[in-house]
Amino acid sequence: MSNNNTLIVGSIGLDTIETISDRKESILGGSATYATIAAGKSSAVHLVGIIGDDFPPSGMKIFKEATVDLSNLEQKKGKTFSWGGRYARDWDNRHTLFTELGVFKEFDPVLTQQNKEVPIIFLANIHPSLQLSVLDQCTKRKFVIIDTMNLWIDTEREKLKEVISSCDVLLINEFEAKQFTRRKNHDDQGTVLQALGPQNIIIKCGSKGAKLYAGHQLDTIGVFPIKNVIDPTGAGDAFGGGIAASLANGETMIESIINGSALASLTIEGFGIDTVYNANVDEIEKRKEHLRTTLNS
Question: Could you tell me what percentage of the chain is helix, strand and coil, using 3-state DSSP and rounding each to the nearest 5?
Answer: 40, 25, 35
Element (H, E) at 196: none
Output the residue with the shortest Cβ distance to ligand AMP. Answer: 29
231 part of the interface to ligand AMP, by CB under 6 A: no
Q: Beta-carbon neighbour count of residue 62 at 10 Å?
A: 18
What SS3 class is residue 175? helix
- Nearest of 73, 47, 35 to residue 246 by alpha carbon: 35
| Closest CB 291 distance from ligand AMP, rounded Å | 19
Nearest residue (CB) to ligand AMP, 34 versus 143:
34
Nearest residue (CB) to ligand AMP, 102 versus 236:
236
For ligand AMP, the binding residue among 151, 155, 286, 289 (CB under 6 A) is 151
For ligand AMP, the binding residue among 29, 59, 198, 260 (CB under 6 A) is 29
Nearest residue (CB) to ligand AMP, 6 versus 82:
82
Q: How many residues does the chain have?
A: 297
Which of these segments, 24-32, 158-166, 177-185, 279-287, binds ligand AMP (CB under 6 A)? Answer: 24-32
3-state secondary structure 209-236: CEEEEECCEEEEECCCCCCCCCCCCCHH
For ligand AMP, the binding residue among 40, 59, 236, 241 (CB under 6 A) is 236
Per-residue interface string for the shown chain with ligand AMP, residues 48-87, x marking contact by CB under 6 A: -----------------------------------x----
| Closest CB 91 distance from ligand AMP, rounded Å | 11
Sheet holding 200-204, edge to edge: 69-76, 44-52, 5-9, 120-123, 143-147, 169-173, 200-204, 210-214, 217-221
Give the separation between CA 229 and CA 270, rounded to whole angstroms: 8
Give the separation between CA 277 and CA 26, rounded to whole angstroms: 17
Which of these segments, 27-35, 109-117, 178-186, 253-261, binds ligand AMP (CB under 6 A)? Answer: 27-35
Please, what's the b/e burial string for 102-116 (b: 16 or more CB within 10 A of its CB; e: otherwise)?
bbbeebebebeeebb
31 part of the interface to ligand AMP, by CB under 6 A: yes
Residues 96-135 that bind ligand AMP (CB under 6 A): 99, 125-126
Q: How many residues bind to ligand AMP according to rule CB under 6 A?
A: 16
Nearest residue (CB) to ligand AMP, 119 versus 134:
134
Which pairing describes strands 5-9 and 120-123: parallel, antiparallel, or unpaired? Answer: parallel
Nearest residue (CB) to ligand AMP, 101 versus 295:
101
Which of these segments, 40-48, 189-197, 232-240, 275-283, binds ligand AMP (CB under 6 A)? Answer: 232-240
Nearest residue (CB) to ligand AMP, 74 versus 237:
237
Binding residues for ligand AMP, per CB under 6 A? Answer: 11, 13, 15, 29-31, 83, 99, 125-126, 151, 233-237
